[in-house]
Amino acid sequence: MSLGFRVAVGQFKEVTPDDLSFCKQLGVTGITINRPDFEAPSWRTFLGKHYPYGPADFNKSAKWDFMDLLNLRRRIEDFGLKLEAIENVPYHFYDKALIGAEGRDAQIENYCETLRNLGRAGINTLGYHFCPNLVWRTSTARPARGGAGVTAFNYDDARHAPVTHGREIGAAEMWENFEYFITRVLPVAEEAGVRMSLHADDPPVPTLGGVARIMNSLDGFRRAMKIGNSPNHGLTFCVGTWGQMGGETVYEALDEFSRQKRAFYLHMRNIKGSVPDFSECFIDEGDLDVVRILRILKTNGFDGFLIDDHVPQMTADTPWGHRGRAFSTGYLRGLCRGIEEAERAAH
């Protein structure tokens, strides 16, 4: 009996052939890439300098080019790996859409073209978030196991931060921005055969830097999935961020969305504490019951993939975290194997 889901690895902001070999060595079948800016020299090198395709078009930096995407997928498949998803377009592709600023219509038009190009290139999952001022942490100095490098957050420390966008942006306005964006891009995603996968706001507090964080609760996500009601709209279910909401929320939400087939893929990590104060930690410690999470997926017939998520920095690690990710990925693969064996024994 197979579990029906698989472990991948990823969050590469740039990738080299060595990285892909490393992924193969970990025994995973697929990878994800994070907000690639294909204009960057490292990406030009990876994709190959000689294109059977004309020069860059004028708007290239505002959207992804079909041939870049096709080459990306092919290069990864050449290593025997599947490109499971790309997570997030570069921030400047849709920063105005996030806050409803002038110029958002042009960005949305470009975003639609990116979706079409993803579909044409055979890449069917695009992760996204709807959080104008991104991930916040207030400490990188909290003690962790063996002195590993982890991040932590304390809401009291962050509460009085200055506004990040020149003014306050409340929840009602953020919901309007979200509806404006998602109702325009989703029909195009459907047509292109691309799934849009929404990550929760990390940390899931009400507001930071004057900007409301609307994807911070189960109710918020129910609302988001209702506004963007499509089989092509679902969740990048980040167990860390959902765990930071505290209590049983992470299990309830995962059960609900995986049952509805709207959890497209998962970020796996562990945490100690929850809002208003938490630290990241190794996946085999912390407050989240990772086995319970995997069992929910198994029970609900989840058929997507899992990846590790900002792992602790281990001794002599690289910025991407080769050592930390090897530990996390191996641990996850071992747990999956254990659950598979337990299922086999039970039937």
| Maximum alpha-carbon separation in the chain | 60
Q: How far is the CB of 219 from Mn ion (least distance, A)?
A: 20
Give the separation between CA 325 and CA 10, rounded to whole angstroms.
9
Q: Taking contact as CB under 5 A, which single stretch among the options 18-26, 140-148, 164-172, 265-273 is the one that binds Mn ion? A: 265-273
b (16+ CB within 10 A) / e for 299-338: ebebebbbbbbbbbbbeebeebbbbbbbbbbebbbebbee
118 vs 238, beta carbon nearer Mn ion: 238
238 vs 297, beta carbon nearer Mn ion: 238
Instruction: Give the residue, chosen from 309, 313, 328, 335, that forms a contact with Mn ion under the rule CB under 5 A.
Output: 309
Identify whether the C-beta of residue 266 lies closer than 8 Å to the C-beta of residue 306.
yes
308 vs 317, beta carbon nearer Mn ion: 308
Whose tokens are 């592709």? That residue is: 93
Q: Give yes or no for residue 129 binding Mn ion (CB under 5 A).
A: no
Residue 171: left if φ>0, alpha if ψ -120 to 50, beta else—which one?
alpha
Q: Taking contact as CB under 5 A, which single stretch among the options 82-90, 250-258, 262-270, 329-337 is the one that binds Mn ion? A: 262-270
Of 254, 264, 260, nearest to 197 by C-alpha is 264
129 vs 233, beta carbon nearer Mn ion: 129
Positions in 150-209 near Mn ion (CB under 5 A): none
Q: Tokens standing for 130?
A: 């709807």
Give the separation between CA 63 and CA 94, rounded to whole angstroms.
10
Q: Which residues, 6 or more positions from 312, have their beta carbon under 8 angstroms from its beta carbon?
A: 144, 145, 148, 149, 150, 280, 281, 282, 321, 324
Q: Tokens standing for 87?
A: 């997570």
Q: Give yes or no for residue 267 binding Mn ion (CB under 5 A).
A: yes
47 vs 275, beta carbon nearer Mn ion: 275
Q: How far is the CB of 241 from Mn ion (least distance, A)?
A: 6
Q: How far is the CB of 309 from Mn ion (least distance, A)?
A: 4
Q: Taking contact as CB under 5 A, which single stretch among the options 35-43, 49-57, 81-89, 231-239 is the one that binds Mn ion? A: 231-239
77 φ, ψ (degrees, to nearest 5): -65, -30
140 vs 315, beta carbon nearer Mn ion: 140
Instruction: Give the residue, chosen from 238, 263, 275, 336, that forms a contact with Mn ion under the rule CB under 5 A.
Output: 238
197 φ, ψ (degrees, to nearest 5): -125, 115
204 vs 228, beta carbon nearer Mn ion: 204
Q: Give yes or no for residue 325 binding Mn ion (CB under 5 A).
A: no
68 vs 309, beta carbon nearer Mn ion: 309
Give the separation between CA 120 and CA 229, rounded to whole angstroms.
23
Q: How far is the CB of 239 from Mn ion (least distance, A)?
A: 8
Q: Which residue is nearest to Mn ion (CB)?
A: 238
Q: Taking contact as CB under 5 A, which single stretch among the options 58-66, 118-126, 167-175, 236-244 is the one that binds Mn ion? A: 236-244
Q: Which residues bind Mn ion (CB under 5 A)?
A: 238, 267, 309
